[in-house]
Amino acid sequence: MTPPTVSATHRKRKPFYSTLWVQVLFAMVLAVIFGYISPTHAIAMKPLGDAFIRLITMIITLVIFCTVVSGIAGMQDMKKVGRVGGKALLYFEIVSTIALGMGFVAGNLFHPGSGFNVDANTLDSKAVAEYSGQAKAQSITDFLMHLIPSTVVDAFAKGDILQVVLVAILFGFALSAAGRACQPIVTFVDGLTQALFSLVNILMKFAPIGAFGAMAFTIGKYGLSSLGPLARLIATFYGTCALFVIVVLGAISWAAGFNIFKFLMYIKEEILLVLATSSSETALPTLMEKLEKLGCSKSLVGLVVPTGYTFNTDGSSLYMTLAALFVAQATNTHLSILEQFTIFSVAVLTSKGASGVQGAAFIALVGTLSVIPAIPVAGMALILGIDRFMSMFRALINMIGNGVATVVVARWENELDHSALSAALRG
């Protein structure tokens, strides 16, 4: 007689405290308490967060390269690669432009900088000088030239995601064109991809430690009291981000056949990790892995997610337009419709490349403001102290936006397993 089968509902479940999201959440709560009680010791925890971020970023370029190469080399129709890339870029441009517009609407509607009456001459311009040196007006030609690395090795050495994507796309096309002659290389890349994702799973064991270190440093360094004077700006930004996710991404998700709230629950580990580290790059490898389990094809995930981390920066777009208006309002700088439109137009370009790396969006904003002489760039010193708290939500919206974009493009291309999608979102 055959033994009775054990149903899925009766299988022994893992204790709740052993799940990653619970451990990260607990570490974050503990870090906030520790940072509040002992700021000096909490600041000393910074190396824990930095070390974890380095552990993840050291393999990101390899993960992206292998995934993109493997996906393109496995596609029979090379026209499909161009079609997927074109649709993804069109989607990125439309949605990130909507985000820029929402930032402007929120800034003009709630006036978060009104009442500050700051004299720009009294501000410490040295505080922003470091960022001003890194920021510069970038033309379309400069941006396109930046896509091409000096050497193949240089792209990996600098960790420039978009340059790595370009190299991977070209290499993938070459392998596909060579056919069977290069099949051993394709097999090797596939094997290396599996090894890298296994390595990611090992490194994620240290996520709670990294989250604790990063959050403890943030609270210890800046303190919750620093949020008080700029509470209106923070509340406006957080509220606009929430509205963008619920309304804009929610509508897009609904049109694509899935629920945004169930999707957010599905990536809850990545959400907590991004909030703790203020960097969306720490969640990139596991996000790609989860999107594949969600039913998106491997090749499409490899193309859309890495490209989106540079071109689809919804959170950074929201922040840049809102923060620009805040600085103008706080320094009583009147902006004409033409000047506001100029900021919007420049931000469309400068927001590209303001990916999950800490401080990238702040640097891009300094570069944007530099094209409007009427706005004192020194005004950025007003929000420098709370930028870490703003960075949390910038990186979070960037990550969520890229996850939604991948599912949407996969559905457009019929590269989405709807049964896998439904099963994963049901938990």
Alpha helices for 111-182 (secondary structure H): 126-134, 140-146, 152-158, 161-178
Residues 208, 424, 193, CA angle at the centre, nearest 5°?
65
Distance CA 340, CA 325 (A): 8
Phi-psi region at 414: left, alpha or beta (left = phi > 0; alpha = psi -120 to 50): left
Residue 416, helix vs strand vs coil: strand
Q: What does the pLDDT read at residue 336? A: 83
List the pLDDT tens digit at each of the 427 positions of the chain: 445 444 444 455 667 667 888 899 999 999 999 999 999 999 999 999 999 988 888 888 898 888 888 878 766 667 777 888 889 989 999 999 999 999 999 999 999 988 888 776 666 556 565 555 554 555 567 667 777 888 888 888 887 777 888 898 888 888 888 878 888 888 898 899 889 989 988 999 999 999 999 999 988 887 777 677 688 999 999 999 999 999 999 999 999 999 999 999 999 999 999 998 888 888 989 999 999 999 998 888 888 888 888 788 898 889 989 988 998 898 888 888 888 888 888 887 777 655 544 556 777 777 777 777 777 777 777 787 788 888 889 999 999 999 999 999 999 999 899 999 999 998 7
CA proximity to 421, closest of 311, 288, 293, 312: 293
Instruction: Return the residue matching tokens 């499409």.
Output: 300
CA proximity to 304, closest of 119, 165, 427: 165
Domains of the chain plus CATH, in order, are: 18-426 (1.10.3860.10)
Whether the CB-CB separation of 88 and 409 falls below 8 Å is answered with yes
| Residue 263, amino acid | F
Whether the CB-CB separation of 340 and 382 falls below 8 Å is answered with no
Distance CA 277, CA 218 (A): 9
Query: What is the per-residue DSSP string for 237-296?
Result: HHHHHHHIIIIIIHHHHHHHTS-HHHHHHHTHHHHHHHHHHT-GGGGHHHHHHHHHHTTB
Residue 149 neighbours by CB under 8 Å, 6+ apart: 155, 158, 160, 163, 166, 167
Instruction: Return the residue matching tokens 């923060």.
Output: 323
DSSP 137: -
